[in-house]
């Protein structure tokens, strides 16, 4: 019997047990629950600002989704504007921009999943093998720091390096007798720049989760593997990686949920007229449609389509990981 089937069996047993409880037992359980809440009331008080901010900044704005179904006018407001039904959805789904932006978004996201997603795992595994604590701390700190650098600063640094006039890269080319090139506008350089900057900025911070998971692996398993003659590579492959498989699975599901996000702030700053064919993704198109062209209802419709597709990716990925790896969010 698989773990998924075992969980379903346990859930069914719990539901049956709850249904069989007498009114007195149910009353006792409710009383016990309130006792536990009062016992940990300070923890709930500290959690309250998080819940309030989530409601105010995440759930209440969701009321604006209705804008996607309206012909919005400033003077009439969201709820006073004329009902348009699925007009904006149909317009977007039948437009050339739908296929272009969706293709670019998925291509960049898949490249990041294939190349960038394993990078923090590999770094965490390598750091776990470092025995010198001072050296390990220095490496960890150096890998974490880029995460606190904004994308605006990262792209400014890239501009300083690859600028057509005065950039270090082109100055070297000139000294070698070569013609300067506009690297940031080259289509062939766009994907490598996106992937390399993403790894440089996020690999250290992403490794924190996996390092924490590694610390939870039973040390007795390493001792047993060593006694059986396993070397460090075999311990990593047969003990460490299976020990953090659940964490990897959950992070993969969450990453798939953002497959249509593609780091809009990074791509927007790297976007140039010369690479627009590759850099125009759903989020940048939504931003331009809403803020630059003032089509708020159309931008809301596009955003809602993106969210529904992302939810579908999460559900499918969760189902597959539950079925084949016995790991899932639900």
Most confident of 62-66, 99-103, 175-179: 99-103
pLDDT at position 11: 54
Residue 126 belongs to domain spanning: 87-324
Domain membership of residue 230 (yes or no) is yes
Number of domains in the chain: 1
Please give the pLDDT value at position 60: 86
The answer to which of 15-29, 95-109, 258-272 has the lowest mean pLDDT is 15-29
Instruction: Indicate whether 61 belongs to any domain.
Output: no
Q: Is residue 316 part of a domain?
A: yes
Q: DSSP code of 236? A: I
| DSSP state for residue 73 in the 8-state scheme | E
In this predicted structure, the answer to whether residue 10 has a pLDDT above a threshold of 50 is: no
In a domain, 215, yes or no: yes
- The Cα 326–Cα 299 span in angstroms is 38
Q: Is residue 220 part of a domain?
A: yes
* Angle made by CA atoms 98, 99, 100, in degrees to the nearest 5: 95
CATH number, domain containing residue 234 = 1.10.3720.10
Domain-located, residue 198: yes
Q: Find the DSSP H helices in 3-117.
A: 3-19, 23-39, 41-54, 77-80, 87-93, 96-111
Least confident of 16-20, 25-29, 295-299: 16-20
- Give the per-residue pLDDT at 117: 92
Buried b (16+ CB within 10 A) or exposed e, 12-31: eeeeeeeeeeeeeeeeeeee
- Is 31 inside any structural domain? no
Kindly state whether residue 5 falls inside one of the protein's structural domains: no
pTM score of the predicted model: 0.78
Rounded Cα distance between 270 and 186, Å, is 11
Spell out the long-range contacts of 278-283 with Cβ–Cβ below 8 A and sequence spacing 24 or more.
278/104, 278/187, 278/190, 278/191, 279/104, 279/190, 280/97, 280/100, 280/101, 280/104, 281/101, 281/104, 281/105, 281/108, 282/101, 282/102, 282/105, 282/306, 283/105
Averaging pLDDT over each range in 57-66, 113-122, 170-179, which range is the top one? Answer: 113-122
User: Taking 90 as the threshold, does the pLDDT of residue 120 lie above it?
Assistant: yes
């Amino acid at each position: 019997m698989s773990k998924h089937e075992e969980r379903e069996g346990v859930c069914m047993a719990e539901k049956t047990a709850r249904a069989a409880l007498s009114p007195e037992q149910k009353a006792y359980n409710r009383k016990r629950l309130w006792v536990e809440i009062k016992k940990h009331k300070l923890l709930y008080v500290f959690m309250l600002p998080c819940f309030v901010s989530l409601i105010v900044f995440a759930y209440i704005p969701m009321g604006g989704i209705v804008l996607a179904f309206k012909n919005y006018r400033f003077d009439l407001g969201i709820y006073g504007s004329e009902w348009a039904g699925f007009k904006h959805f149909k317009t977007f789904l039948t437009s050339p921009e739908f296929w272009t932006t969706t293709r670019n978004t998925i291509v960049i996201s898949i490249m990041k999943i294939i190349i960038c997603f394993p990078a923090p795992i590999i770094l965490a595994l390598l750091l776990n093998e470092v025995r010198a604590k001072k050296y390990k701390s220095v490496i960890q700190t150096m890998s974490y720091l880029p995460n606190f650098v904004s994308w605006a600063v990262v792209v400014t640094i890239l501009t300083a390096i690859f600028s057509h006039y005065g950039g270090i890269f082109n100055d070297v080319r000139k000294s070698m007798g070569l013609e300067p090139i506009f690297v940031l506008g080259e289509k062939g350089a766009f994907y490598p720049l996106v992937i390399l900057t993403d790894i440089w900025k996020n690999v250290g911070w992403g490794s924190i989760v996996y390092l924490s998971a590694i610390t939870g692996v039973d040390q007795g398993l390493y001792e047993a593997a060593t006694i059986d003659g396993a070397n460090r590579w075999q311990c990593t492959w047969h003990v460490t990686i299976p020990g953090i498989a659940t964490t990897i699975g959950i992070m993969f599901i969450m990453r798939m949920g953002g497959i249509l996000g593609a780091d809009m702030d990074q791509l927007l700053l790297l976007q140039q007229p010369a690479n627009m064919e590759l850099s125009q993704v759903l989020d940048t198109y939504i931003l331009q449609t809403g803020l630059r062209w003032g089509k708020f209802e159309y931008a809301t419709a596009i955003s809602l389509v993106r969210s529904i597709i992302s939810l579908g990716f999460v559900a499918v990925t969760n189902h597959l990981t539950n079925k084949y790896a016995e790991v899932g969010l639900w």
